[in-house]
A and B are shown apart, each in its own frame.
Chain A
Amino acid sequence: MPKGEVYSQLMKEISEGKYVFTGELEPEKAGDVDEQIHAAKELVGLVTACNVTDNPQSFAYVSSLAAAYKIQKESGMECVYQLRCADRNRMALLSDLLGASVLGIKNVLALAGDHVSLGDTPDTKPVFDLDSTTLIYMIRKMVDEGKDLVGKEIHNPPKLHVGGAAAPGAAHLKAEVAKVKRKIKVGVEYIQTQVVYYPEVLDKFFKELGKVDVPILVGIFPAKSFGAADFFDKYVAGVDVPPDYLKSLEATKDIKDKEKKKDEIDRINVEYFTNFLEYLKGTPAAGCHMMAVGYPRIIGPLRKVMK
């Protein structure tokens, strides 16, 4: 929880105790972010802020810094600039964070990132000079003390809030929770979880974590297609997509009429996530991160559940 000054709308709402919603935008391998700006516009008023992904799954895409700046400027949607350690050493991370300050970014989600060998350019030399914890530490040092990692002064220090990730579905939950506590110890201001589908998984996570003074946004992933859900199930570590939900999405593959197919996918998502969001109300979660990449139309119906 931010102890000092609040710089962003996201952190303002969290500190006021409002239940927040965030969305996610994924820049692609393209020379523009027009599609993401369009999606962001659709989400204005429905979510407080949107994450802008940084080379997700180690696929090399538009810089999340450039994208976050442009999206924020063109759509008015506050962005959470995702920054991963996989591609940048500590100097580049610091430069980009100062750049984010210059460009008016207020929130950073500090991530280690998937290994580069899992992505579309597997021969890349992996960096990981810092990890998510040391990146959070560096950001807090920059913001709170106005210093870089070696103690050199930063003129006009950046005003950024830093979030970190957690994986409630991790195979070794105790180690995962200890890692989250370590992030809290170095000053992370909020935690956003990896996608969760099962209440039992989240319950176990909260129980293991105990009471902490850091707000937690729980990640959900309403999938826009069977393929998207299937990809998550197969390739994203620590995430199991419920077989029944997957099956219902798979059945939509046979629907020829595009509009009917869309409606059916929306119906499946609303049905599944209505229950999940109802359940979320009774957990210590401070909000919900809706990772509905390329699927902004689902956010409105889901928001209604939490009214």
Chain B
Amino acid sequence: MIAQEQKPIEEILGYLDGKKNIVIVGCGGCATFYHTGDRKAIDDMAAKLVSAGKSVTKIPMPFSMQVCDVEKSEVFLNKKRKALEDCDAVLVMSCGDGVQVATEYIEDGMGIVKPVYPANNAIGLVGGGPTKFKETCLSCGMCELGKTAGICPLTSCGKGLMNGPCGGVRVDNKCEIDPEKDCAWVKIYERMEKLGELDKFIEMRAPHEWSKCKRPRLFEIEEPVNTITAALGALPDFLSYAISSKPKREEEKK
């Protein structure tokens, strides 16, 4: 998921300075997990904008419908065409990807030219949850995990070294730039030791092939996924997950 946090309201109001009618676009994807684009987050943002003297129209996306997935988000954007036409600015509550997909669709797909502003700062591709997340993948285009016992040093090592640990590792095996973070290369060593693969550790890994990460990267697939079929097909599993994870969630609440 793409972790994100809301920008300071002062920054958002700065973008919206001199603009009266605002459309807020939410996101039912990652932004829902980080409370930065779900219905409640939109309501809270709307209240702040209203108290700053703005008029607001809300375009929430249902759960699992991401604003970056244009095939879905266009349906909800088109429903509010009039509001988009009449507004002074659009505020998108998603990651930067969603902001740009919405901008492009509103402009090229709907023919409406409006300033579009971000409400959030995207932090990175993270895993974990439900409340604690960790960035573990750079999406670099050339995965090195096969050479590093399944721990990515480009992401997890502060320096992104391919051959660590560096000289800055702390006495408690934490990183020199943050005492809260583990040294990725100590982790790699320990994991290789467990796997009986320490012979690999002392082999020099070649410099990373950054040519696989030429930005902006474009991507194409032959067959688009039918999300309706996929979602309906997943329904039994989803229900069984909901039932089985209920006690755990209630325990967490305590």
Contacts and interface: CB of A to CB of B under 8 A. Distances in A.
Interface in B181-225: 207-211, 214
Contacts of B211: 117, 122-124
Interface class of chain B by DSSP: loop
B214 A123 contact: no
A125 B208 contact: yes
B209 to A, nearest CB: 4
Interface size class of B (residues with CB under 8 A): under 10
A126 interface: yes
B219 to A, nearest CB: 18
Interface of B: 207-211, 214
Contacts of B210: 116, 123-126
A122 B209 CA distance: 8
A123 B208 CA distance: 7
15 contacts: A115-B214, A116-B210, A117-B211, A117-B214, A122-B211, A123-B207, A123-B208, A123-B209, A123-B210, A123-B211, A124-B210, A124-B211, A125-B208, A125-B210, A126-B210
Pick the most buried of A115, A116, A123: most chain B CB atoms within 10 A of its CB. Answer: A123
A125 B208 CA distance: 8
Interface residues of A, number: 8
B163 to A, nearest CB: 15
Nearest to B160: A125
Interface class of chain A by DSSP: loop
Nearest to B213: A125
Interface string A96-129: 0000000000000000000111000011111000
Interface in A120-167: 122-126
Contacts of B208: 123, 125
A88 to B, nearest CB: 16
Nearest to B215: A126
Given A125-B210, A126-B210, 8 more contacts: A115-B214, A117-B214, A122-B211, A123-B207, A123-B208, A123-B209, A123-B210, A124-B211
- The 10 nearest A-B residue pairs measured at CB: A125-B210, A123-B209, A122-B211, A123-B211, A117-B211, A117-B214, A123-B210, A124-B210, A123-B207, A126-B210
Contacts of A125: 208, 210
A117 B209 CA distance: 10
B153 to A, nearest CB: 14
A116 B212 CA distance: 12
Nearest to A126: B210
Contacts of A115: 214
Contacts of A117: 211, 214
A122 B210 CA distance: 8
Nearest to B154: A125
Nearest to B209: A123
Nearest to B210: A125
Contacts of B207: 123
A123 B214 CA distance: 10
Pick the most buried of A116, A117, A125, A126: most chain B CB atoms within 10 A of its CB. Answer: A125
A123 B207 CA distance: 8
Contacts of B209: 123
Contacts of A124: 210-211
A49 to B, nearest CB: 35
Nearest to A115: B214
B142 to A, nearest CB: 9
A122 B208 CA distance: 11
B71 to A, nearest CB: 31
A125 B214 CA distance: 10
Nearest to B214: A117
Contacts of A122: 211
A116 B211 CA distance: 9
A124 B213 CA distance: 10
Contacts of A126: 210
A183 B211 CA distance: 30
A115 B211 CA distance: 10
A116 to B, nearest CB: 8
A89 B47 CA distance: 42
A123 B210 CA distance: 5
Pick the most buried of B207, B208, B209, B211: most chain A CB atoms within 10 A of its CB. Answer: B211
A36 B208 CA distance: 34
B177 to A, nearest CB: 15
Nearest to A122: B211
A177 B39 CA distance: 44
A117 B215 CA distance: 11
Nearest to B207: A123
A85 to B, nearest CB: 15
B3 to A, nearest CB: 24
A125 B142 CA distance: 13
Nearest to B140: A125
A37 B209 CA distance: 36
Contacts of A123: 207-211
A116 B210 CA distance: 10
A115 B214 CA distance: 9
Interface in A196-252: none
A89 to B, nearest CB: 13
A304 B210 CA distance: 48
